[in-house]
Structure 1
Amino acid sequence: MTVADSLDSEAVQAAVLYEVTDGGVAVITLNRPDRLNSWGADISRGVYAAFDRAEDDEAVRAVVLTGTGRGFCAGAYMGAMQDLGESISGDTDVSKIVGERHPHFLTTLRKPVIAAINGACVGIGLTHALMCDVRFAADGAKFATAFPRRGLIGEYGITWILPRLAGWGVAADLLLSGRTFFADEAARLGLIKEVVAPEDLLSTALAYAEDLARNCSPASMAVIKGQLYGDANDAVTEVSARAENLMHESMVRPDLVEGITAFFEKRPPNFPALKQL
């Protein structure tokens, strides 16, 4: 490893923090508060590494994604965007900003991802938040698609996920106007599960995630996530037939016996860890 590689690795680790609670929840924190955690190569690489680590760790049963300071993720890093604008020549490589994965990779993870939106959530930051499975937001947090106000389009799957969460009319309004809205409106529109005081945000999201980790079968949650996103474009007859097969599979896993036994014994279940495929 060269000195440059080492420094780059250190920068990536500093840009995204990672820890695991005693309750089995990985907390992934975007850590560039000086730029409101705007999305750049350092954050993208750190985020991918952190989620891969959480997926591979059997002790992790749920993940919380949040940010430090006043921003969750305030869109693309404008320093990188300025460089991009000055160098547009028809073969612009936007992956240098976005990274190697599109935000919808969050929907392919087998573990539930909870967003704790602590502040500004804009552009690609909003797309990532919407691709999380459940969202909490601090009171006063600002949201915006912003794309038409920057001469851009609906990026990286937001036109797929936003209508599914909030309906066609709401999605058209937010995407076409690029207007700013706040956490309370986001909750009314169905984008946020709950708005909480800023000082209570992380503890609220962690309590929710730790409840999943403690009381829900990792195998069941993994299958259900696959159903939620995989069934989105299929006819109900196909979805129902596929669910019947998945139900038969679930009935021969030890999770079912443990779940029923724990219910009758009035104790927390002791579900087995999610094994690697």
Structure 2
Amino acid sequence: MAHADDKKTVLADVADGIMTITLNRPDRGNAWNGPMAQGYFALLEQAAQDPEVRAIIVTGAGKAFCVGGDGKKLAVVADTGDIKSAAPQPYWFPLTIGKPIIAAINGACFGIGLQQALVSDIRFASEDAKFSTAYARRGLVAEMGMSWLLPRLVGTGHAMDLLISARLVRAAEAERIGLVNCVVPAGDLLAEAQAYATQLVRHCSPYSMRAIKQQSFADLMQPFLKSFDRSVALLDTAFAAPDFKEGMASWQEGRPPNFPALPQELAHIDLNG
């Protein structure tokens, strides 16, 4: 198992086109700190650049996904007011990765842990998962774009409830309000996420997945007609690309597609569209 130079606070394994990233501070509930931020974002960059990787899964070691910011660091901030971040990238960096990111949420998912789950593209949760924005109960505000992300995922009413109350939300409710895509038995979580990622690897064009991810997030900030017109232009480009030819040929021939890897120049997404 490979790991970034971060004292193993984040681990990664690559197999069958999938990079599985594990937040690895189980004794601290995978609490987020500088080395974890550096290691996680470095591995996302590695996955973005690696043509062998076509999908990414992120999960937590032990019983938690990520309980939020490390309590020791937060205590220092409370005492000193020093809020300097050791993260090498902005916390919305996962949105710029040109490959699908699947969060396999295995337990407590609070604060920045929830924020990082929300900037993933798909969220699987175990029956043991639980969620909280946490901020209002720590005298903080909706950090790191949470006031933008949550209303778009669960609607304004649910978002206001989750942000203002910072109450604990269990897995079943999270699925009902759209905070996660699905809930599975705890013992099946990683297998279910891997099975989903495998379908993406085997059947979906890396170019198409990147383009759709870029469209989806950029269009959240665009008027409908501008989004529609841009999709027409993108479709003209897609019709002329080798992925479309291979997609049609594999469908007509009744075989799995053999899509080319995403080139490195398309490793990242411009959120401005």
TM-score normalised over the length of structure 2: 0.94
Q: Which residue of 2 aligns with 1:77?
A: 70
Q: Which residue of 2 aligns with 1:49?
A: 42
- Identity across aligned pairs (percent)? 45
Letter in 1 for 2:83: D
Over aligned residue pairs, what C-alpha RMSD do you find? 1.0
Q: Which residue of 1 aligns with 2:155?
A: 167
Shift of 1:193: 1.2
Q: Which residue of 2 aligns with 1:144?
A: 132
- For structure 1, which runs of at least 5 residues remain unmatched after alignment? 1-8
Shift of 1:141: 1.0
Q: Distance in 1 between matches of 2:98 and 2:175?
A: 26
- Deviations along 1:168-203, one digit per CA (max 9) or x if unpaired, are 000000000000011110000111111111110001
SS at match of 1:137: strand
Q: Which residue of 2 aligns with 1:128?
A: 116
Letter in 1 for 2:59: T
SS at match of 2:131: strand
Aligned residues of 1:13 and 1:46 also touching (Cα < 8 A): no
Q: Which residue of 2 aligns with 1:17?
A: 11
Poorly superposed stretches of 4+, deviation over 4 Å: none
Match of 1:95 among 85, 88, 107: 85
Q: Distance in 2 between matches of 1:124 and 1:94?
A: 15
SS at match of 2:118: helix
Q: Residue 210 in 1 paired to residue 198 in 2?
A: yes
- The residue correspondences of 1:1-277 to structure 2 (distance < 5 A) are 10=5, 12-22=6-16, 24-88=17-81, 92-96=82-86, 99-277=87-265
- Deviations along 1:114-159, one digit per CA (max 9) or x if unpaired, are 0000110000100110110000001021100010100000000111
Q: Which moved more, 1:202-211 or 1:101-110?
A: 101-110
Number of aligned residue pairs: give it: 262
Q: Distance in 2 between matches of 1:181 and 1:155?
A: 18
Letter in 2 for 1:14: K
Q: Distance in 2 between matches of 1:120 and 1:182?
A: 9
- Deviations along 1:95-114, one digit per CA (max 9) or x if unpaired, are 14xx2323321111100000
Aligned residues of 2:45 and 2:97 also touching (Cα < 8 A): no
Letter in 2 for 1:153: V
Q: Distance in 2 between matches of 1:84 and 1:146?
A: 16
Shift of 1:13: 4.6
Q: Distance in 1 between matches of 2:119 and 2:262?
A: 22
Letter in 2 for 1:222: R
- Deviations along 1:205-251, one digit per CA (max 9) or x if unpaired, are 01101110110000000110000001111100100111111001101
SS at match of 1:234: coil
